[in-house]
Amino acid sequence: MTIKVFSVAEMVAAEKAADAAGHSYAQMMELAGSLVAEAVTQRYRVDGRQVLILVGPGNNGGDGLVAGRRLAEAGALVAFYLFKPRDAQQDTNMARVEEMGLEVLLAEYDQRYRVLRHRLRITDIVVDALLGTGVSRPITGSLAALMEQMVAGIAERKGELSAGSALVSVAAPPVAPDDPTAADGRVSRLVVVAVDCPSGLNCDTGSLDPLALPADLTVTFAGPKRGHFKFPGAAACGELVVADIGIDPALPAMAKVPLELVTAGWARSLMPKRPADGHKGTFGTVLIAAGSIRYWGAPALAARGAFRSGVGLVTLAVPQRLRPALAGQFPEATYPLVTDTDVLGVATANLLLSSLDNYRTVLVGPGLGDADSFMSAFLDGLKEAKDAVPALVVDADGLNLLAATNGWPRRLPPNTILTPHPGEMARLSGLSLSAVRDEDRVELARDKAADWGHVVVLKGAYTVIAAPDGRTTILPFANPILSVGGSGDVLAGIIAGLGAQGVPAYESAVLGGYLHGAAGELASDFWGDAGLLASELADWVSHARRALMG
- The mean pLDDT of 473-481, rounded to a whole number, is 97
Right CATH for 266-545 from 3.10.105.10, 3.40.50.1820, 3.40.1190.20, 3.30.110.70? 3.40.1190.20
DSSP state of 273: P
369's CB contacts (< 8 A; 6+ apart) are: 292, 293, 294, 295, 343, 397
pLDDT grade, residue 1 (50/70/90)?
Answer: low
Cα–Cα nearest to 219, from 30, 28, 39: 39
90's CB contacts (< 8 A; 6+ apart) are: none
DSSP state of 320: G
Cα dihedral value 81, 205, 418, 508, nearest 10: 30
Give the pLDDT confidence score for residue 186 in this predicted structure: 53
Residue 373: enclosing H or E segment and its boundaries?
Answer: helix 372-385
Give the pLDDT confidence score for residue 7 in this predicted structure: 96
- Collapse the DSSP code of 386 into the 3-class scheme (helix H, G, I; strand E, B; otherwise coil) and give the result: helix
Give the pLDDT confidence score for residue 172 in this predicted structure: 72
Burial of 549 (0-12, 13-18, 19+ CB in 10 A): exposed
Overall pTM > 0.85: yes
CA distances from 396 to 15, 151, 298, 460, 489 (A): 43, 43, 9, 14, 8
Cis-peptide into 331, omega within 30 deg: no
Angle between helices 297-309 and 505-527 (to 10 degrees): 100
Interatomic CA distance for residues 504 and 488, integer angstroms: 20
- Report pLDDT digits (tens) over 74-126: 999 999 999 999 999 999 999 999 999 999 999 999 999 999 999 999 999 99
Q: Is the pLDDT of residue 160 over 70?
A: no
- Report pLDDT digits (tens) over 374-433: 999 999 999 887 667 889 999 999 999 999 999 999 999 999 999 999 999 999 999 999
pLDDT grade, residue 43 (50/70/90)?
Answer: very high
Give the pLDDT confidence score for residue 226 in this predicted structure: 97
CA distances from 141 to 138, 146, 147, 323 (A): 10, 9, 10, 68
Region of poorest pLDDT, from 197-201, 276-280, 520-524: 276-280
Angle between helices 487-500 and 297-309 (to 10 degrees): 40
Give the pLDDT confidence score for residue 385 in this predicted structure: 77
Give the pLDDT confidence score for residue 163 in this predicted structure: 61
Interatomic CA distance for residues 212 and 224, integer angstroms: 18
Q: According to CATH, where is 3.40.1190.20 located in the chain?
A: 266-545
Give me the architecture of the 3-161+187-257 domain, per CATH.
3-Layer(aba) Sandwich (3.40)
CA distances from 481 to 380, 531, 532 (A): 39, 7, 6
Q: What is the mean pLDDT of the chain?
A: 93
Interatomic CA distance for residues 413 and 402, integer angstroms: 13
Give the pLDDT confidence score for residue 435 in this predicted structure: 94
- The mean pLDDT of 511-528, rounded to a whole number, is 96
Interatomic CA distance for residues 221 and 29, integer angstroms: 10
Name residue 125's amino acid: I
- Report pLDDT digits (tens) over 198-228: 999 999 999 999 999 999 999 999 999 999 9
pLDDT grade, residue 166 (50/70/90)?
Answer: confident
Alpha helices in 396-533 (DSSP H): 397-403, 408-411, 422-429, 433-438, 441-452, 487-500, 505-527
- The mean pLDDT of 238-267, rounded to a whole number, is 96
Q: What is the CA radius of gyration of the chain?
A: 27
Residue 317: enclosing H or E segment and its boundaries?
Answer: strand 313-317
Cα–Cα nearest to 411, from 395, 392, 436, 430: 392
Give the pLDDT confidence score for residue 134 in this predicted structure: 74
- The mean pLDDT of 135-143, rounded to a whole number, is 88
Percent of the chain with pLDDT over 90: 87
Burial of 500 (0-12, 13-18, 19+ CB in 10 A): buried
Q: Is the pLDDT of residue 447 over 90?
A: yes
